Amino acid sequence: MIKNLTPERITLLTTMVLSLIFSCFLIYFKISFLEFLISIFIFGSLTYIIILFGLEKFIYRKIKLIYKTIHHFKTTQIKNINYMADVNVDPIKKVNEEVIQWANDQRQEISELRATEQYRKEFLGNVSHELKTPIFNIQGYIETLLEGAVNDEEVKIKFLKKAASSAERLNTLVNDLLAISKLESGTLSMNYSTFDINELTKEVFETYSHLAELKSIKLRIKDGCDFPFKVFADKDRIRQVLNNLVGNAIAYGRENGVTRVGFYDMDQNILTEVSDDGEGIEPEHLPRLFERFYRTDKSRSRNSGGSGLGLSIVKHILEAHNQTINVRSTIGEGTTFGFTLKKG
């Protein structure tokens, strides 16, 4: 009873204490037992009524008003919820619960805002750096040509090719940023169809065969997986996913190694896994691997020519399909990316 004090319980406890004190006072006058009982009854009743009235009028009504205000504020933040607060419950207990919940929510919200602010700062810094590099290169090549190198045919062709390469990198970066923006806002249209993801993977292998040959890397479908696996998805977007994952597997796989892709029936979904046998990724990098511009090895990743947005785009494409992607890695053995798609 002490833990859940309603106005009635507080009044009853107070009345009992006062009645006990009053009874001691009556005993001093040595009145009859009947008069004693009548006096205690009248005193107790009047005391209970007066205290209860005072609590309700001057304290609990104000607490109830505070509680209803807090409750109304919270419920108006939630759409499609229409219910009234139970004003008959113990307001002190409810206010305490509401305040504790509010404090916890605020603490969580502040933590999320700080993380978002830190992410925003990192993102702006990364975008600035990624844009600055190709722009600076293009500017340098053009200035060199204008200063007289344009008259040297061999130097001119060399610098124009480098400028074109930097311009292409800049174009890729801008297109990737636009793609992420559309994916996040949901404005990028998806064209769903049923297709064989095994066949699509082999098409991607053909695209990357020359790059794989440069590192003597073999592209293989895992044993026991080389037969049709029908999925229902946007074929062009999934091709983009496979291009990124297979390209990364080749870029970070060891020379004379193997890049493998496997398919697994997961009841309503098909799981696709892309594995390399490279150096692997440190565990502390794995949770942030799909963030925009996050690089585990900045110099090596940048030299590979990527925009730093590939895995982030992959994640957004799969989320647009209401599917997920995960990664596991072992240092010295390699890395495996796995994603699911709905069965065709």
pLDDT per residue as tens digits for the range 175-209: 777 777 777 676 677 889 999 999 999 999 998 98
Cα 140 from chain centroid (whole Å): 40
Instruction: Please spell the DSSP secondary structure of 247-293, one letter per residue.
Output: HHHHHHSPTT-EEEEEEEEETTEEEEEEE--SS---GGGGGGTTSTT
Q: Identify the architecture of domain 117-185 in CATH.
A: Orthogonal Bundle (1.10)
Q: Is the dihedral of CA 43, 49, 51, 52 positive or negative?
A: positive
Lowest mean pLDDT among 293-297, 311-315, 324-328: 293-297
pLDDT per residue as tens digits for the range 108-147: 778 777 766 665 666 566 666 667 777 878 888 888 888 8
How far CA 78 is from CA of 32, 73, 202, 272, in Å, comes to 64, 9, 48, 38
> In terms of CATH, what superfamily is 192-342?
Histidine kinase-like ATPase, C-terminal domain (3.30.565.10)
Reported confidence tier of residue 63, pLDDT bands at 50, 70, 90:
low
Answer with the residue of higher pLDDT: 271 or 35.
271
Lowest mean pLDDT among 32-41, 97-106, 134-143, 283-292: 97-106
> Could you tell me the residue ranges of all domains in the chain?
7-89, 117-185, 192-342
How far apart CA 311 and CA 323 sit, in angstroms, is 15
Nearest Cα neighbor of 87 from 73, 115, 67, 70 is 67
Phi, psi of 333 (to 5 degrees): -115, -30
Mean pLDDT (the chain) is: 78
Query: Looking at the predicted structure, is the pLDDT value of residue 299 above 70?
Result: no
Contact (CB, 8 A) for 203 and 243: no
What residue has token string 């150096």? Answer: 279
> Which residue type is seen at 234?
D
Q: Can you give the pLDDT at residue 85?
A: 46
Q: What is the pTM of this model?
A: 0.56
Q: Can you give the pLDDT at residue 300?
A: 44
Residues 6+ apart with CB under 8 A from 54: none
Matching CATH topology for 117-185 and 192-342? no
Nearest Cα neighbor of 176 from 142, 130, 208, 113 is 130
Phi-psi region of 191 (alpha: psi -120 to 50; beta: other; left: phi over 0): beta
The helix (H) or strand (E) run that includes residue 228 is none
How far apart CA 194 and CA 197 sit, in angstroms, is 9
Q: What percent of the chain has pLDDT over 90?
A: 19
Reported confidence tier of residue 250, pLDDT bands at 50, 70, 90:
very high
